[in-house]
């Protein structure tokens, strides 16, 4: 894959203008939510044609947890309006929809796209994230829902060729969303670091993301422009890391919690990682990483050093202190919830986890997470 180009917004979006001119883009499909109307980007795209000659066709007919049917509508609009490029502005949902529109844009429109083989195409996709957390703009993954069932779509050809980092997009985010998306990026970097699929390259991305998150956390939460810019970059780096390694048990165990308790994804992931991490340190004899227990022990020591801690248990305490400072609540479960949660975990995601987690361990962990 070609290295992703990173554009900066500046005060006048000059680099963005040059992107459209330089690539001779005539008409874009702008995949975005209504929140774009509150951003300076909204004004930018309204006047894009006048400045550069690039026409804008807007597509906003989707919701959080976007449906397959929404993607089909987007593909139809892309073709009927004669677009030659796609721009995604938003969080994970906008990114997922735009990625799938790109993937499906050269497929047979008379057949279900999910059942067809993906053939890479040269449709350009530019991503402009409006949250610093998902890292979706840097990954080959997208999630949509077909007949109510989650469909994971994965292909490296859907990774955007370019991404614009605009710290202004984070200024109007509610504080809870800022906290939870930051935690999502933090968990991405941590889980990628200890994943059985980790590589030298992925660990480099993880380490850089972790250092950037930890050193800019306060400025970001204070809505400082430099802090916002750094967190966008950190989320992108963490996304690059999980694009190589995928996530582990923290994410495998958090998904049902978000729907069951109505909490944000990053919030749920952090609650899980908070208990999974010390459990792993206490059960390293159950190492599943083919590189062995000594390697895994060194991984936790290296992770502690990146976190600015002297020992692996010290890094756990640092993570716990971050959660305490953010003051995010832990949901109150009903007894029946534990069975629902225990059976919801995707075993495929657990294959990336470096320490064995059987059904009893998962049940025990959920009691600790919610206890």
> pLDDT for 124-176, tens place per residue?
999 999 999 999 999 999 999 999 888 999 999 999 999 999 999 999 999 99
- Taking the model in full, what pTM does it have? 0.95
Angle between the 200-221 and 293-306 helix axes, to the nearest 10 degrees?
A: 30
Average pLDDT in the chain: 96
The pLDDT, as a whole number, for residue 34 is 87
The pLDDT, as a whole number, for residue 2 is 63
Tokens linked to 43 = 């004004």
Q: Single out the residue of 133, 127, 128, 214 nearest to residue 178, CA to CA.
A: 133
With beta carbons less than 8 A apart as the criterion, state whether 142 and 153 touch. yes
List, in sequence order, the alpha helices (H) in the chain.
Answer: 14-22, 40-46, 48-52, 68-80, 92-104, 175-194, 200-221, 225-245, 249-252, 255-261, 265-282, 293-306, 312-326, 337-342, 347-350, 359-370
The pLDDT, as a whole number, for residue 347 is 87
With beta carbons less than 8 A apart as the criterion, state whether 95 and 127 touch. yes
> pLDDT for 198-244, tens place per residue?
999 999 999 999 999 999 999 999 999 999 999 999 999 999 999 99
With beta carbons less than 8 A apart as the criterion, state whether 241 and 192 touch. yes
Residue 311: half-sphere exposure toward Cβ, Cα within 13 Å: 5
Could you give the percent of the chain with pLDDT greater than 70?
Answer: 99
> pLDDT for 15-34, tens place per residue?
999 999 999 999 999 999 98
């Amino acid at each position: 894959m070609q290295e992703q180009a990173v554009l900066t917004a500046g005060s006048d979006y000059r680099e963005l203008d040059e992107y459209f001119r330089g690539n001779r883009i005539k008409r874009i499909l702008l995949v975005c939510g209504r929140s774009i109307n509150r951003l300076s980007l909204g004004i930018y795209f309204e006047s894009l044609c006048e400045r550069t000659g690039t026409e804008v066709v807007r597509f906003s007919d989707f919701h959080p947890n976007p449906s397959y049917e929404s993607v089909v509508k987007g593909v139809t609009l892309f073709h009927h309006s004669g677009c030659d490029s796609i721009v995604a502005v938003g969080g994970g949902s906008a990114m997922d929809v735009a990625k799938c529109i790109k993937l499906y844009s050269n497929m047979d429109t008379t057949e279900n796209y999910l059942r067809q083989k993906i053939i890479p195409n040269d449709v350009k996709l530019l991503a402009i994230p409006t949250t610093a957390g998902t890292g979706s703009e840097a990954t080959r993954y997208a999630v949509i829902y077909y007949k109510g069932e989650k469909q994971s779509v994965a292909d490296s050809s859907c990774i955007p060729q370019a991404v614009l980092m605009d710290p202004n997009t984070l200024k109007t985010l509610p504080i809870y969303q800022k906290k939870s998306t930051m935690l999502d990026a933090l968990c991405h970097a941590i889980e990628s670091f200890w994943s059985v699929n980790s590589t030298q390259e992925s660990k480099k991305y993880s380490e850089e993301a972790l250092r950037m998150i930890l050193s800019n956390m306060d400025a970001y939460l204070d809505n400082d422009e430099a802090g916002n810019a750094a967190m966008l970059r950190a989320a992108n780096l963490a996304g690059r890391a999980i694009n190589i390694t995928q996530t582990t048990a923290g994410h495998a165990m958090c998904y049902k919690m978000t729907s069951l308790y109505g909490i944000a994804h990053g919030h749920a992931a952090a609650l899980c990682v908070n208990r999974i991490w010390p459990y792993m340190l206490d059960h390293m004899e159950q190492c599943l990483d083919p590189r062995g227990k000594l390697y895994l022990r060194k991984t936790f020591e290296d992770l502690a050093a990146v976190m600015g801690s002297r020992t692996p248990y010290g890094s756990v305490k640092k993570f716990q202190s971050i959660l305490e400072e953010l003051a995010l609540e832990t949901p109150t479960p009903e007894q029946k919830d534990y069975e629902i949660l225990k059976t919801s975990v995707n075993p495929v995601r657990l294959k990336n986890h470096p320490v064995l987690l059987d059904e009893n361990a998962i049940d025990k962990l959920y009691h600790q997470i919610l206890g």
